[in-house]
Amino acid sequence: MVDCIIIAGADMNTDCVDSSSFDGKYMICADRGVTHAQKLGVSPDLIVGDFDSLGFVPQADCRIMQFKPEKDDTDLMIAVKEAVKLGYQNLQIYAALGGRLDHTFASFQTLAYALGHGVKAQLVSENEIVELFDPGEYTIKRKDGYSLSLFSFSEKVTGLSISGAKYEVTDSEFTNSFPLGVSNEVVGPNAVVSFKSGRLLVIQSLLQ
pLDDT digits (tens, 9 = 90+) for 151-173: 999 999 999 999 999 999 999 99
R_g of the chain computed on alpha carbons: 18
Q: pTM of this prediction?
A: 0.94
From 80, 96, 126, the end of a domain falls on: 126
Same domain, 58 and 101: yes
From 82, 104, 126, the end of a domain falls on: 126
Backbone angles phi, psi at 43, to 5 degrees: -115, 125
pLDDT digits (tens, 9 = 90+) for 118-136: 999 999 999 999 999 999 9
Report the number of secondary-structure helices (H) and strands (E) in the chain.
Answer: 3, 14
Evaluate the CA torsion angle 105, 20, 82, 113 in order and state its sign.
Answer: negative
From 93, 126, 159, the end of a domain falls on: 126
- CATH number of the domain that 58 lies in? 3.40.50.10240
Q: Which residues contact 171 (CB under 8 A, 6 or more apart)?
A: 159, 160, 161
205 membership: H or E segment, kind and range: strand 200-206
Average confidence (pLDDT) per 10 residues, the chain, 208 residues: 95 91 96 94 94 85 89 93 97 92 95 98 96 98 96 98 97 96 95 98 94
